[in-house]
């Protein structure tokens, strides 16, 4: 196995936060980002069609898949980025490799005597839930790309520090919810991170869950894993008798005894698992819950996503966005990001194949009724708002009542308006021909509707211009994208 591209040599940036200073594991991470900086880093706007609309239909059919790469940052992305930034750093506070207590604890782990080490975990947790396809995994992967997968330390301020640090590790809960399967997934993820087939083969034939768990504790401590993300946790619902309890106890041990923050990710159907975690560990509530809720029809964040996706059309006649099209897109997707993107991809392929060469409401509905008919029962349940109908689809269970019973929900409304204004600025403005949505839908500048436009008339995005500047930091500062005060947080975080 070759050395991974994300294994980087450690470079240290002193933190302005007292408890982070003098800790090489924290100072080797990228600096804490402002919301504007985080939004620009998370955004992924593929090359727009431009002159490609003049290519043959066979070529354009390949271009359409570029839409699948689109990442339009939304307020929930900024909230999640800030939470993970805090989570990973706070977990390292209690595991400074320059502290003698850290190595005493690691030695105690090897001997199975953690209760005598005096170790106090500073790790916390975060739970991320939402409808299947709403964008949880995409958001997480976009945020994780901001951090190196592995960092090679050699020396820190005159102290020898030969260490490979793994800031984050992401694995999926096995489909059968087994702890053994999770352990083997952990070994494979570690091997990918360090670029060496060191652990997966060694423990492939190991028998017994206790030795496997002990090895995970040792490896995670040795490589200073900063954060463990467990995706698809709803699979734990089908675990055999006792399996769910064993895995939850394993997570609690990682948090409390090993000091590793854990991020639980899954659909709404996993929420009832949290109560078991919270009964066993005070820190399991951690930073609370990041809820990827189904947007409403008039949600400004949904309008922002729709406008961004509508720009990626390879048909020869690009229709302006109208209230009718906006209504149809919400009705046919119910605000689910993955369904929106797939609908636009399939509709464009059909329009190009048939020579229609434009996206219309009639075409969108035809595609939804034919090519996406397997989704109709779930979408009908969402559309109805009937809890009984929705309960037949475990990924669509409404979480609000269960969440409110377990923890207070933060009111995000106060900061969403200012965030949306900034988020709109990271991509180029919608072309003047795009129709203005109703004032109730979102508060956007008035843009008159005109005739259909071609993709070649589009304006380059400011984000792409700044990224191509010969001195990006200076360009970002001049453009007003960087905050001067590194500790200047939004009002929502200050109030939390």
Mean pLDDT (the chain, rounded): 81
230 pLDDT more than 80: yes
pLDDT reported for residue 144: 95
pLDDT reported for residue 291: 84
Do 34 and 488 touch, CB atoms closer than 8 A? yes
pLDDT reported for residue 344: 97
Residue from 454, 449, 461, 456 nearest 325 by CA: 449
Of residues 345 and 247, more confidently modeled: 345
Terminal C-alpha separation, the chain: 45
Which CATH superfamily groups domain 7-32+76-292? P-loop containing nucleotide triphosphate hydrolases (3.40.50.300)
Sorting pLDDT into bands at 50, 70 and 90, what band is 407? very low
Out of 57-71, 84-98, 209-223, which region has the weakest mean confidence (pLDDT)?
A: 209-223
Angle at 134 between CA 132 and CA 136, to 5 degrees: 90
Neighbouring C-alpha atoms within 13 Å toward the C-beta of 411: 4
Helices (H) and strands (E) in the chain, counts: 21, 8
Total-model pTM: 0.77
pLDDT reported for residue 395: 58
Beta strand pairing call for 289-292 and 262-266: unpaired
CA atoms of 341 and 324, how far apart (whole Å): 18
Out of 85-94, 139-148, 181-190, 287-296, which region has the weakest mean confidence (pLDDT)?
A: 287-296
490 pLDDT more than 50: no
Q: How many CB atoms lie within 10 A of CB 108?
A: 17
Percent of the chain with pLDDT over 90: 47
pLDDT reported for residue 404: 45
Residue-wise pLDDT for 55-77, tens only, equals: 999 999 999 999 999 999 999 99
Token pair in block for residue 202: 């060694």
Angle at 59 between CA 57 and CA 64, to 5 degrees: 90
In sequence order, the β-bridge partners of residue 367 are none
CA atoms of 450 and 261, how far apart (whole Å): 52
Token pair in block for residue 177: 């919810």
Cβ contacts of residue 467 below 8 Å, gap of 6+?
A: none
Token pair in block for residue 102: 């850290």
Q: How many CB atoms lie within 10 A of CB 400?
A: 11
CA atoms of 244 and 255, how far apart (whole Å): 17
Average pLDDT over residues 273-290: 57
Domain boundaries, the chain: 7-32+76-292, 35-73+294-403+419-495
Secondary structure of 463-488 as H, E, C letters: HHHHHCCCCHHHHHHHCCCCCCCCCC
Using the 8-state DSSP alphabet, how is residue 492 labeled?
H
Q: Is 407 exposed, middle or buried (0-12, 13-18, 19+ CB in 10 A)?
A: middle
Out of 166-170, 177-181, 356-360, which region has the weakest mean confidence (pLDDT)?
A: 177-181
Sorting pLDDT into bands at 50, 70 and 90, what band is 120? confident
| Dihedral (CA of 351, 356, 361, 362) sign | negative
CA 9 to mean position of chain CA atoms: 25
Of residues 465 and 377, more confidently modeled: 377
């Amino acid at each position: 196995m070759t050395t991974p591209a994300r294994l980087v040599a450690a470079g240290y940036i002193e933190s302005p936060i007292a408890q982070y200073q003098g800790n090489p594991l924290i100072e080797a991470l990228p600096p804490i980002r402002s919301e504007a900086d985080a939004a620009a880093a998370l955004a992924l706007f593929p090359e727009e069609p431009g002159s490609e609309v003049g290519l043959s239909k066979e070529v354009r059919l390949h271009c359409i898949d570029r839409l699948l790469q689109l990442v339009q940052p939304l307020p929930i992305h900024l909230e999640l980025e800030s939470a993970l930034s805090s989570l990973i750093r706070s977990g390292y506070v209690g595991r400074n490799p320059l502290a003698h207590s850290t190595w005493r604890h690691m030695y105690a782990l090897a001997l199975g005597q953690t209760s005598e080490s005096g170790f106090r975990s500073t790790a916390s947790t975060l739970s991320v839930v939402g409808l299947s396809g709403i964008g949880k995994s995409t958001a997480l992967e976009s945020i994780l790309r901001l951090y190196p997968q592995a960092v090679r330390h050699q020396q820190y301020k005159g102290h020898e520090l030969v260490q490979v640090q793994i800031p984050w590790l992401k694995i999926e809960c096995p489909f059968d919810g087994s702890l053994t399967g999770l352990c083997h997934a952990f070994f494979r993820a570690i091997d990918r991170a360090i670029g060496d087939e060191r652990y997966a083969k060694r423990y492939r034939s190991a028998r017994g869950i206790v030795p496997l768990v002990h090895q995970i504790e040792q490896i995670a401590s040795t490589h200073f894993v900063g954060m463990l993300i467990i995706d698809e946790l709803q699979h734990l619902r089908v675990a055999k008798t006792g399996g769910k309890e064993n895995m939850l106890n394993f997570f609690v041990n990682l948090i409390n005894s090993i000091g590793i923050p854990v991020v639980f990710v899954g659909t709404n159907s996993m929420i009832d698992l949290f109560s078991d975690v919270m009964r066993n560990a005070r820190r399991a509530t951690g930073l609370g819950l990041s809820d990827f809720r189904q947007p409403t029809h008039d949600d400004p964040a949904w309008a922002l996503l729709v406008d961004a996706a509508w720009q990626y059309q390879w048909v020869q006649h690009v229709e302006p966005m109208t209230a009718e099209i906006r209504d149809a897109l919400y009705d046919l997707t119910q605000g689910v990001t993955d369904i929106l993107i797939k609908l636009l991809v399939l509709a464009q392929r059909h329009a190009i194949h048939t020579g229609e060469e434009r996206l219309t409401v009639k075409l969108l509905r035809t595609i939804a009724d034919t090519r996406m008919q397997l989704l109709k029962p779930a979408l009908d349940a969402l559309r109805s708002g009937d809890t009984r109908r929705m309960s037949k689809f475990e990924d669509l269970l409404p979480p609000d009542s269960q969440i409110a019973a377990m923890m207070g929900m933060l009111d995000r409304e106060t900061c969403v308006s200012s965030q949306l204004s900034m988020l709109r600025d990271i991509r180029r403005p919608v072309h003047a021909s795009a129709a203005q949505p109703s004032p109730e839908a979102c508060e956007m500048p008035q843009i008159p509707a005109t005739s259909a436009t071609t993709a070649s008339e589009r304006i380059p995005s400011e984000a792409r211009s700044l990224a191509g500047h010969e001195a990006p930091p200076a360009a970002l500062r001049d453009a007003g994208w960087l905050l001067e005060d590194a500790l200047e947080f939004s009002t929502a975080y200050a109030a939390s």
